[in-house]
Amino acid sequence: MTNLSVNINKIATLRNARGGNVPNVETVAIDCERFGADGITVHPRPDQRHIRHDDVLALRPLVRTEFNIEGYPSEEFMQLVLLVKPSQVTLVPDAPDVLTSSAGWDVEPNLDFLSSIVDRLKEVGIRTSIFVSTDVENIRMAARTGADRVELYTGPYAADFKTDPEAAVAPYVEAALAARKAGLGLNAGHDLNLENLKFFKERVPHLLEVSIGHSLISDALYMGLEQTIQAYKACLK
């Protein structure tokens, strides 16, 4: 099976909209694991508009499955993840003011920078993943950083899925094979949902993990968190 990591940023967004501590991010993370999630993902941003640094510190001793922290590797971010030592750090090229991750790294011009970041993380035993598009040469360059995995940005797949599923998934199949050949593990995320996830899983080989937040939390408003996690897990069998 492909692992399901639940991104709980939207829980923090809802909490922050009102102030206080409802819904409780820590309780939701524990419940996600209890309901079958294979991991918890958070993406602390510089403005801390959803997950905050103190949330990350509070979650570290509570998460019993895989803890994945996404973010742009600023020095502030690096100090946080080196202190927390999650299972995995996913490096994304986000500018501080973007709403969501909407593009992968252009690895070649950032090769030295990313390699140095990967080295720092691997020195303390943290698995590294680089957020990329399906460009095969870019994936080969990602392998040169020493990273353990790449995470494929699946926004284009989700956008094209309704009109032509086979054409939408074809670049991801090619990218998956390229990642495998380069010695990289494969993750995926962004806009995956109950409509398109099963097809993606069936077509894309060697898929180790998907990270899903917005769609899963939105579905949980109607279905409940436990039933929603089980439905996403069923897509990955």
CA dist 55 → 23, 41, 59, 62 (Å): 13, 12, 6, 11
The C-alpha atoms of residue 141 and residue 53 are separated, in whole angstroms, by 31
Q: Note if 206 is an active site residue.
A: no
Q: Note if 43 is an active site residue.
A: yes
User: Could you count the other beta carbons within 10 Å of the beta carbon of residue 46?
Assistant: 14
Catalytic entry in 33, 50, 151, 190: 190
The C-alpha atoms of residue 237 and residue 231 are separated, in whole angstroms, by 10
Catalytic entry in 66, 70, 151, 209: 70
DSSP assignments along 20-86, one per residue: TTSS-HHHHHHHHHHTT-SEEEE---TT-SSS-HHHHHHHTTT--SEEEEEE---HHHHHHHHHH--
Q: Note if 190 is an active site residue.
A: yes
Catalytic entry in 33, 43, 50, 151: 43
The 3-state DSSP class for residue 210 equals strand
Show which residues are catalytic.
43, 70, 190
